[in-house]
A and B are shown apart, each in its own frame.
Chain A
Amino acid sequence: MIYFNSFLISGLICLIAQLILDNTKLTPGHVTALFVVIGAALDVFNIYDKIVLWAGGGAMVPITSFGHLLIHGALSSASRYGITGLLLGMFDLTASGITAAIIFAFFMAIIFKPHS
C-alpha cells in the first residue's frame, strides 16, 4: 500500500510542476525554488508530516521534502536552545543531501569532461 501511496504522491507533485512549467513562463529553477518554499510552508501546521506518514519515500523524493527537512531541523534545535536554535539547526537534517550533492558534483566535474 505504501508503494502505491509513494507512486501517487511523488507522481502528483511532479505532475503539478509539469503543468506549471507548460502553462506559465516559469523555468524549472523557479518551480524547484517555489516547491521548497511550499514544503516549508506546509509544515507550519504539520501538513507535510502527515503526507510523509502516508506516502513514506514518495514524499521524501520530491524537492518539497527539502523544505520540510529544513524547517524541522530548525524547529527541533529551537526547542532545545530557544530562538537561536533556528539558526543552529537549520541544516541538521539536510546536511547529508547537500554534502553528498557537493561532493559528488565536485568529483564528477574533476573526473569527467562536459558533453555539450
Chain B
Amino acid sequence: MEKERYKNLVDKNIPKENVMINAIKAFLVGGVLGIIGQGLIDLYTVWFDIPTKDASPYMIITLIFVASLLTAFGVFDKLVSWANAGLLIPITGFAHAMTSAALEYKKEGLILGIGANIFKLTGSVILYGVVAAYVFGLLRFIFLGG
C-alpha cells in the first residue's frame, strides 16, 4: 500500500517530457551546428588556402576542441540537458563523452582511472564503427569491386 502510494506520488511529480519540443530543440541545435561546420570549412578553405575536402578535418578538430573545453568547464552538461540529441549526435557528443569519462575517473589514477576508462563511452562508437565499416567495406570490395 505504502509502495503504491509512493509510486503514484512519484509518477505525478515527474515532469512529462514534451517529445515535440525536444525534437524541435534537437533539430535547431543540430542544424545550427551544421551551419557552424560549413562556416568553419569555408573559413579554413580561404584562410589556409586548401581544398574544401582538406578543410573538413580542421573543422572537426575545432568542434572537438570546443566541446572538450566546455565539458571541462562543466558547461557542456547543462547545454546537453537542454539540447539533448542536438549536441550528442554531432561530433561534439563524441568529444564530450571522452572528456567527461576521463574527468570522472581521474581520481582513480592515471592508469586505472583515466587510462582504463577514457574509452568507456566512446569505445562502442569506435568498435561498432570499425566492425561495420570492415564488414560493409568487405562486401563492397568483393561484390562491387571497391
Q: Offer 23 A-B interface pairs, CB within 8 angstroms, sorted by A.
A: A3-B39, A14-B27, A14-B85, A18-B25, A31-B85, A31-B88, A32-B88, A56-B37, A56-B38, A56-B52, A57-B39, A63-B89, A66-B94, A70-B132, A71-B136, A74-B134, A75-B140, A97-B57, A97-B64, A97-B94, A101-B68, A102-B118, A105-B99
The A/B interface has a contact count, at CB < 8 Å, of 268
Q: Which residues from A are CB-within-8-Å of B40? A: 57
Q: Which residue of A lies closest to B37 (CB)?
A: A57
Q: How far is the CA of A110 from the CA of B56 in the complex (A)?
A: 28
Cα A111 to Cα B61 in complex, Å, equals 20
How many angstroms from the CA of A83 to the CA of B98 in the assembled complex? 32
**DSSP class of B's interface residues: helix, strand, loop or mixed?**
helix
* Chain A: CB-nearest residue to B84: A18
**What's the least CB distance linking A19 to chain B, in Å?**
6
> Chain A interface: which size bin?
35 or more
From B72, B89, B98, A35 is in contact (CB under 8 Å) with: B89
Report yes or no: B102 in contact with A3, Cβ–Cβ below 8 A.
Answer: no
B residues in contact with A75, CB < 8 Å = 137, 140-141, 146
State in angstroms the CA–CA spacing of A29 and B68 once bound together: 17
* CB pair A37 B34 closer than 8 Å: no
